[in-house]
């Protein structure tokens, strides 16, 4: 084998090893990103379910509603749990801010909770890569208080 053939064999070998390592690394990163996405999705879904329970405890003006069976202490524990999961998994700061605005509207110039709930759903969809905003046929139907 000539010196030229040896060098070409080494270069080819390095190329193959590089391609294999690149493929393995790409697969590991994709798998990790998918796992993070699934954890984030679960955290967002859990926070939406929590907010539904929380909003069910509020007495709405002119709205007949089902009362929630959740106890306030249970909701406090769930709120902390949801916020922690959102903080650990989501990149968008607006998710945490909107979550807190819904829970403490009095600290934010008594904002409209239903509008913030709509905003929360939108920023959660953005966080999960769903860019299109949902157009609600009636803004009063964003939170379902009671189905007749």
More confident residue, 132 or 46: 46
Within a domain: residue 127?
Answer: yes
Count how many domains the chain has. 1
Portion of the chain with pLDDT greater than 70, in percent: 77
Q: Would 17 be classed as within a structural domain?
A: no
Q: Report if residue 16 sits inside a domain.
A: no
Domain of residue 132 covers 39-141
What is the residue-wise DSSP string for the chain? --HHHHHHHHHHHHHHHHHHHHHHHHHHHHHHHHHHHHHHHHHHHHHHHHHHHHHHTS--TT---PPP---HHHHHHHHHHHHHHHHHH---HHHHHHHHHHH-GGGGTS--HHHHHHHHHHHHHHHTT--SPP--S-GGGSS-----
Decide if 27 is inside a domain. Answer: no
Is 107 within a domain? yes
Decide if 6 is inside a domain. Answer: no
Please indicate, yes or no, if residue 105 is contained in any of the structural domains.
yes
- In a domain, residue 23? The reply is no
How does pLDDT run across 75-123, given as a tens digit for each residue? 888 999 999 999 999 999 999 999 999 998 888 887 888 889 889 999 9
Global pTM reads 0.68
């Amino acid at each position: 084998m000539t010196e030229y053939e040896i060098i070409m064999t080494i270069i080819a070998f390095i190329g193959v090893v590089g391609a294999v390592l690149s493929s393995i690394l790409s697969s590991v990163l994709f798998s990790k990103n998918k796992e993070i996405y699934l954890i984030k999705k679960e955290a967002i879904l859990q926070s939406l379910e929590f907010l539904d329970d929380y909003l069910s405890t509020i007495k709405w003006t002119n709205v007949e509603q089902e009362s929630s069976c959740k106890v306030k202490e249970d909701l406090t524990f769930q709120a902390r749990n949801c916020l922690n999961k959102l903080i650990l998994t989501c990149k968008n700061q607006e998710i945490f801010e909107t979550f807190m605005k819904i829970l403490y509207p009095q600290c934010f110039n008594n904002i409209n909770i239903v509008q913030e709930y709509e905003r929360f759903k939108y920023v959660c969809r953005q966080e999960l890569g769903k860019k299109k905003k949902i157009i609600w046929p009636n803004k009063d139907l964003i939170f379902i208080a009671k189905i007749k």
